[in-house]
Amino acid sequence: MLCVLRVVFYFNVLFCYCCHGYFNENYGFGIEYQWVYLNYTWPSPAHYQWAISTKTYIPQNNAPVGIKIYRNLLFVSIPRFREGIPATLTVLDRLTASRTNPLLTPYPSWSANGISNCHGLQSIQSMEVDTRGIMWIIDGVRINNLTTCPPKLVLLDLNNDGRLVHSYVFKPEISLGQGGFLNDLVVEDVDGGYAYITDNSGIDPGIIVYSRRKNRAWKLRDGSMFAERRASNFAVADVAFNNSVPVDGIALSPKTINGERILYYCALTSFTLYSILTNVIRDEDNLNSGSWRNFVTPVGTLTSQVDGIAIDSQANMYFTLLPLYGVGRWNLNDPLESTQMIHQDPRTTIWPDGFAFDQEGVLYVISNQVFRYIDPRSTPPINSNVKFRILGTFIGTRSYLYG
């Protein structure tokens, strides 16, 4: 019965979009990598046996979330949503990895991914790579008791085998060690480098601004970062959602003619996209006076609930359209309502989560059914179906960092 309802809903939506002239271009997203289960390049068969027998590795509990690319390396994060995740930051080599069930190699090492000491990488959802090859990593999934380490921002030098460049621990008034959820980030190469980070915490949601030069972080909290009740109900595959999920997607524009950049963000269960100039929020004095709120701008209405968003060097924003099993594209210079669906496939694109750009003009999106993993009440499936896919398509542009 549920299934029938869902199919009708799906075709209604599809019909609706056809009427509005959407879906007229096929961007040809193809499957680049796919997994039934995640598995790793273990140091030895004995290590693998030990990890299985001690439940350090529970294959069905591992789900990939964040993806980013540097040269031939594809980085994949695996947040510790559940037990049995042996590494939270991993890499595969695009030149040699197999396309089906490629093994993941912990990055920069197995020991750096150890959960037993707080200097190690604990639970990572997202990362970004700046134009110098420094990876900015948010180690801040703190929605369970699997780690008690405070959330942190970690900078690794990808040109030096992931050498640790810097680590910054967030105080609890910025992100909670119990209940914080550093979700996604963008970086800006200005005044020594800034990161803008969404904290999807159900307790204290907001956007964190981090200045590398000042080595300080501050947090923006605003109603625009909360969920909207009208967007709380939607369905993906066989699961109906009735949740309030705050600020999640975050994207940075290329430079405007004034040399400024605009930050875009949205709550997961919301239909409103917001923006703010980064020069407003980089000034901590504006935070203290509250005057920054005058610059928060509602941009328009989104096509559906979205998770990850990303902008390329030509000012095109890409959206993950969760209940539509697809990807939308909008040029920042046009009205948001002109968003086009450039991909839709309910078979391969079950919960498109986030994006990555390579240097050769390909846009990647990961689809990971993350709702089956993140909710402790759900049971991850054990079967031979493909569960995770990285899809790619040629767009001919690079990320916002190069625009």
Ligand X SMILES: *[C@@H]1O[C@H](CO)[C@@H](O)[C@H](O)[C@H]1NC(C)=O
Chain positions contacting ligand X, by CB under 6 A:
39, 41-42, 48, 59, 103, 144-145, 233, 242
**CB of residue 221 vs ligand X: minimum separation in angstroms?**
22
Structure letter (DSSP) for residue 288 = H
H helices within 257-368, ranges in order?
Answer: 278-281, 284-289
- Return the C-alpha torsion angle 13, 14, 17, 21, nearest 10: -170
The four Cα atoms 144, 149, 153, 154 give a dihedral, to 10 degrees, of -120
Nearer to ligand X, 12 or 160 (CB): 12
Q: Closest CB to ligand X among 59 and 114?
A: 59
Tell me how far apart the alpha carbons of residues 143 and 305 are, in angstroms, rounded to a whole number.
Answer: 22
In whole angstroms, the minimum distance from the beta carbon of 59 to ligand X comes to 5
Three-state DSSP class for residue 61 = helix
Q: Of the two residues 23 and 271, which places its CB atom closer to ligand X in the complex?
A: 271
Q: Of 233 and 301, which CB lies nearer to ligand X in the complex structure?
A: 233
DSSP letters for 366-394: EE--THHHHSTTS----SSS--EEEEEEE
Nearer to ligand X, 147 or 313 (CB): 147
Shortest Å, Cβ 403 to ligand X = 40
Q: Cα 275 vs. chain centroid, distance in angstroms?
A: 18
Give the integer Cα–Cα distance in Å for 249 and 264.
8
Least distance CB 283 / ligand X (angstroms): 36
CB of 45 to ligand X, least distance (A): 6
- Looking at the Cβ atoms of 233 and 288, the one nearer to ligand X is 233
What backbone torsions phi and psi does residue 287 show, to the nearest 5 degrees? -65, -50
Count of all residues that appear for the chain in the document = 403
Of 132 and 230, nearer to ligand X (C-beta) is 230
Give min distance, CB of 148 to ligand X, in A.
9
Q: Please report which helix (H) or strand (E) contains residue 17, including its range.
A: helix 2-19
Beta bridge partners of 319: 309, 328
Strand boundaries in 43-162, DSSP class E: 67-70, 73-77, 89-93, 105-106, 126-129, 134-139, 152-157
Question: In whole angstroms, what is the distance from residue 219 CA to residue 137 CA?
Answer: 18
CB of 139 to ligand X, least distance (A): 18
If the CB atoms of residues 43 and 192 are measured against ligand X, the closer one turns out to be 43
Instruction: Output the smallest distance, CB 242 to ligand X, in A.
Output: 4
